[in-house]
Amino acid sequence: MEKRTIPVVGMMCAGCSAAVERRLNALEGVVQATVNLPGRSALVEYDPSHISLQQMKDEIQRAGYDLIIEEDRSAEEIEHRSFVLLRRKVLLSWLFALLVMTISMGWLPQLFNSSTSQSLPSATPSSSMSNQAMLIIALLNLVYCGRQFFVNAWRQLMHFSANMDTLVALSTAISFLFSVFNTFWGERFWGSRGLASHTWYDASVMIITFVLTGRLLEERAKNSTASAIRSLMGLAPKTARLVDGDTMNEVPISTLQPDDLIEVRAGEKIPVDGEVTAEQHPLVDESAMTGEAALAEKHVGDRVLAGTICRQGTFRFKARQVGQQTVLANMIRMVQQAQGSKAPVQRIVDRIALVFVPCVLGLSLLTFVLWLLIGGQQQLPRAALSAVSVLVIACPCAMGLATPTALMVGIGKAAEQSILVKDATALERLRHINAMVIDKTGTLTTTTNHPSPNSHHPSPTSQTTEHLTPHAREAIVDLQAMGIEVHLMSGDNTENVSRWADAAGIAHWQAKALPQDKDDLVRQLQSEGKHVAMVGDGINDSQALATADVSIAMGRGTDVAMDVAQVTLMSADLRRIVDAIRLSHRTVGMIRQNLFWAFIYNIVCIPLAAGLPCLFGIDFQITPVWASALMAFSSVSVVLNSLRLKWSR
């Protein structure tokens, strides 16, 4: 099986992401696929012997979207071009909107004869010349600025599906066609029935203008949610200084191979993971990877990591892990996959979003029919106006963005603090933790080798000392203050375990513990109704890590422990666990806020758009123009609210 994060192009709302996810999961050979709307990506686990990436791409293209699988196509470049085109359309659409509003409000009396008869909100009395001018402007706006809505809506229709584009296309088409009818035949049709003829060209233009403006603001805000990934990607340099005998050449890092000899000078970033080959004692800043500010002095045989910075000295090292095998590449991959994963609450929202658009279409039709039943043919203009307003205002964008944007920011925030969260479920579960099992050696304590005299290397005569990890006691105190019961488990002897438990302030401890004993304790605590986290770094911890509700590994531990763990701490500072738990509380709280406002928005606004107050003698209704503005604002506000996580301490 392979797991890969694939950029997706063309998604605009929760309905889009749900449609792409459904199609991917329906393909034979795809084990599981989750689609991230703000991240514009799909995390796909699949069997390459049954299905290829090209087959997935072909299926998604038939649905009106696209997967970026080609190496020569950059998702960032495509998104940048799309953003520039979107910005151009927004500016042009605002120009069209200004022209239409100028004409419809009678601000150009010297050119057009505007009527002053009473009209419904957002409706303009017919005037031959002004209406024909607005028809041309609105048509230009539909063809250039709004074309994509109609293309996407048609593709969705061909697959018996619907999304936000369907709602926008229907509402603008109804507004425009109703206005065209009234421009040429309105006086004859409505006049014979004693009614005024009105046009809604301003509504058809403003709907597109506000929706495009909302998307532009969303894109800008969503780019900020992905800043953690861009920061990690920016850590690696583009080139490296390759040593070849007596010569040195500047080469792209993509050409480096294991065992290549590389030189790094003061102020330069280390390009790949490797091993120091000469005793030159450089000082390396590893804060970007470990979160620890102190410079690390490197000796022969010491490991150096891609993305860290040589602050003092010049040294040479042999490449060990290159390309996608470096620790930095693995961090980027883990954060991408975590941001693309889904919390349990998001799956509920996705199911709602999948049926939401058809429900909105039904509500709009019901609104139209009810107004005709209440007022007869005389209420036809209001019936159409109300139906269009419902179509526009009930877009599920805010609901679809509520959870993934908060998760993206939360997981990115964790990465900035050197906390790698493997999936969204782990981030959500952390806030429930009320019991924690901690391994001793390599987790609560660190070991230091003291070399024999006249040597910088450990030797058979070297002594090993076990300096408690920095801030360990402070972290334990904070965890206990949060109501978390801490247990220390170690295979060490009773005297040592007791001493270190006292030093850290841990009341519950067990010595001479085997891997099975750690697993048994986790299960025992779970049977007592506790939510248990396991913190370890070795192979002997992997069994308990797999059993725990949340598994936490130390970044300098074994590969087995880190593979099993849902959360990896890149530094030895146990306070990062406290940070992760607090971040979990804040992220889930932000998700609840977003969902609350997204649902409240629809619950309050749909009846107002349908004209419910008018039935009780209150002359108030949300018109299509205001509906489009409110819909755009709701989506942007959800993203901006999520970004508060990024700016918080």
Catalytic residues: 439
DSSP code, position 590: H
- Please tell me whether residue 335 adopts helix, strand or coil conformation: helix
Quickly tell me which residue has 């909100």 as its tokens. Answer: 121
Q: Distance between CA atoms of 563 and 541, rounded to whole angstroms?
A: 12
φ, ψ (nearest 5 deg) of residue 198: -125, 155
Tokens of 436: 């924690």
Q: Distance between CA atoms of 123 and 385, rounded to whole angstroms?
A: 9
166 Rama class: left (phi>0) / alpha (psi -120 to 50) / beta: alpha
Q: Are 522 and 547 in contact (CB under 8 A)?
A: yes
Q: Are 277 and 317 in contact (CB under 8 A)?
A: yes
Q: Are 300 and 277 in contact (CB under 8 A)?
A: yes
DSSP code, position 268: P
Radius of gyration of the chain (CA): 31
Please give the angle made by the CA atoms of 471, 555 and 523, to the nearest 5 degrees: 85
Q: Distance between CA atoms of 319 and 126, rounded to whole angstroms?
A: 76
Tokens of 486: 């801490």
Q: Distance between CA atoms of 131 and 125, rounded to whole angstroms?
A: 9
Q: Distance between CA atoms of 349 and 355, rounded to whole angstroms?
A: 10
Q: SS3 letters for 137-161?
A: HHHHHHHHHCHHHHHHHHHHHHCCC
**Which of 554, 61, 553, 566 has its CA nearest to residue 341?**
566
Write the CA distances from 380 to 128, 368, 393, 627, integer angstroms: 22, 8, 20, 19
Quickly tell me which residue has 């795809």 as its tokens. Answer: 30
Q: Is 383 exposed, middle or buried (0-12, 13-18, 19+ CB in 10 A)?
A: buried
DSSP sequence for 283-302: EEE-HHHH---SPEE--TT-
> Dihedral of CA 68/74/76/78: which sign?
negative
Q: Are 127 and 114 in contact (CB under 8 A)?
A: yes
582 Rama class: left (phi>0) / alpha (psi -120 to 50) / beta: alpha
Tokens of 453: 């005299």
**Which of 571, 560, 589 has its CA nearest to residue 430?**
589
Q: Is 447 exposed, middle or buried (0-12, 13-18, 19+ CB in 10 A)?
A: exposed
294 CB neighbour count, 10 Å cutoff: 11
**Which of 4, 55, 28, 101 has its CA nearest to residue 625?**
101
